[in-house]
Amino acid sequence: MLREINFDGIIGPSHNYAGLSHGNLAATRNAGKTSRPRAAALQGIAKMRANLDLGLVQGILLPHPRPDHHWLTRLAADYESASAVLKAQALSASAMWAANAATVSPAPDTRDGRCHLTVANLLTMPHRSHEWATTLAQLRIAFADPAFIVHPPVPAPFGDEGAANHMRLCHAHDHPGVEVFVYGESGGPFPARQHREACETVARTHRLHPDRVLFARQSDAAIAAGAFHNDVVAVANERVLFAHEQAFADRDTLYADLRALMPDVEIVEVPAARVSLEDAITSYLFNAQLVTSPGGEPTLILPQEARDNAAVWSWLQDHVAGNGPIRRLEVVNVRESMANGGGPACLRLRVVADPATIDPRFLVDHVGLDRIAAVVEANWPEAIDPTDIGNPALIAQVEKARLALLEALDCLILAKG
C-alpha cells in the first residue's frame, strides 16, 4: 500500500540565528537574535502530532552532528581556533529543513518501478554544503529496502536544493504522476540555487519517463523578492497546483503543458492584486503542507504567520468559502523555524511508499513523539545567544543532547554522522 509519508527534520539542539543564508530574508532579518532550540524542537513535534491527528503517516529525520568537526578538519581547522564565520557554518542546524534533504520520485513514476531518492548537494551555501554526507547515511538506513534506490548528490558545479524545487502532480499518490522541476537563472540580487542541469540530472538518474517531466523556470521577481526556493511561492499535491501569480517565468506555458498531460489538474493561482509577493513570502503562504486527509479532503497546513497577515487570510477565507479545491485550513505554530526562514513545508520531505518497507525507527506515532519530546525537554538548550556560539559549554551540551536522542531512538549507528 503506497502512502504519502511526511518525514520531518527534528530541529537540532544547535538551532541559532547566525544569518548565514543570503537571499533568505527572514534569516537575514533575524541574524544575531537569541534562538530557543528547545521551543523550536517542541514546536516541530507539535506539528507532527497535528499531522498524525489528521490521519497522515509521519516520519522523522535526525539532527546532524554539530559542530561538524569532519568538515572543519577537511578545511584544516578545528572548532576552537576557527574564525567566527566558520564556527557558525559548522554549527548550523539547517538540516532540520528536510525539504532540502533530497528529491524523491515514487515508484509509479519510474521506469524500474522503484522509488528513487537523490540527496541534494546544497552547494550554494557553505553552511549547508556539508549536510549531504550525513543525510545520505540516514536515507540509506531508512530506505534500505529493495523498493528504494538512494543516490549520491549531483556533482558540482550544478546546485541542487532537493524537493524544495520539485513538485509532483497525480490523480492519487499511488498513480503515475507528472514531475515538475523548478530552476532559477543567475543575475539577480540573490543567488539562484537550483540549476537546470541539476534538475535534468536527477530526472535521468530517477529513470523518469521523459514525456511525464516538466522543467519550469522560477521567475526573477520571485527570487529577488526572497523566494530562495520554489516552495516559497508554489506547492502541489495530487491534482492541485497552488501557486502565486508571479511564481514562474512563463506560467502560461507551464499551465498549458500541465493541462495537456493531466487534463483534470486544478490550478489555484493567487493573484498579485490580492496577495503581493512580499506578503506571500513573509507569511509563507505557499510554504505550507498541502496534503490529502484519509477522507480525501485537500488540506493546507499553514504557519501562524499566514493567519496573522490580513491579505493572505482574507484570500484563504474567500477560497474556502467559494468551494475552491483546498477545503480545509490547519494553522500551526513554527515561529522559531519561521524566524530562520523555514515554514511547515521546509520541515518535511515527502515520500510516497509502503510504510512497511521503511526502517521503523524513522516512523513515529504519538508514543514515539512523546519519547522524542522527553529527550528534547531534558537536553536541548533553552536559548542560544550569538555570543554563545564559541562557548565550549554550549558545544558540549549540543553534542550530548544529540547523543541522548540517538540512544533513545536506537540510532547510535549515526553517532559519528
162 close to 345: Cβ distance less than 8 angstroms: no
Q: Which of 29, 127, 100, 70 is nearest to 389 (CA)?
A: 127
* Per annotation, catalytic residue among 229, 305, 319, 411: 229
Other beta carbons less than 10 A from residue 81's beta carbon = 9
Mapping DSSP to helix (H, G, I), strand (E, B) and coil, where does residue 233 land? coil
Cell 553517532 belongs to which residue? 415
Q: Which of 3, 7, 10, 6 is nearest to 371 (CA)?
A: 10
Which residues, 6+ apart, have CB-to-CB distance to 148 below 8 Å? Answer: 114, 115, 116, 117, 353, 357
- Ramachandran bin of 376, using left for φ above 0, alpha for ψ from -120 to 50, beta for the remaining angles: alpha
Q: In this structure, what C-alpha cell is assigned to residue 211? A: 514525456
Say whether 411 is catalytic: no
H helix or E strand, kind and range, residue 320? helix 310-321
Angle at 301 between CA 304 and CA 239, to 5 degrees: 145
* Per annotation, catalytic residue among 4, 131, 161, 336: 161
Say whether 346 is catalytic: yes
Burial zone of 233 (CB within 10 Å; 0-12 exposed, 13-18 middle, 19+ buried):
buried
The β-bridge partners of 213 are 179
In angstroms, the CA 150 to CA 139 distance is 7
Amino acid, single-letter form, for residue 277 = L
In angstroms, the CA 268 to CA 253 distance is 16
Cell 528504494 belongs to which residue? 148
Q: Note the Cα 123 to chain centre separation in Å.
A: 16
Radius of gyration of the chain measured on its C-alpha atoms: 20
Say whether 115 is catalytic: no
The β-bridge partners of 35 are 384
349 close to 118: Cβ distance less than 8 angstroms: no
* Per annotation, catalytic residue among 115, 170, 199, 346: 346
Catalytic residue positions? 161, 229, 346
